[in-house]
Amino acid sequence: MKSDLENVKDIYHKLEEDYGETILCALKFDWQTVGLWLLPVTIVVGAAGGIWDYGRHMQRTIIHLLAMNLTRGIPFTPKEKATMIEILTPPAQGILSSSPWWKQWLPR
Distance, in Å, from the CA atom of 85 to the CA atom of 82, rounded to the nearest integer, reads 5
Tens of pLDDT along 46-99?
A: 999 999 898 888 877 777 777 777 777 888 888 988 888 788 777 665 444 556
Distance, in Å, from the CA atom of 66 to the CA atom of 72, rounded to the nearest integer, reads 10
Domain boundaries, the chain: 2-96
Tens of pLDDT along 10-41?
A: 888 888 888 877 776 666 778 888 888 899 99
Per-state percent for the chain, helix, strand, coil, to nearest 5: 75, 0, 25
Q: So what's the pLDDT on residue 95?
A: 46
Q: So what's the pLDDT on residue 50?
A: 93
Distance, in Å, from the CA atom of 71 to the CA atom of 83, rounded to the nearest integer, reads 11
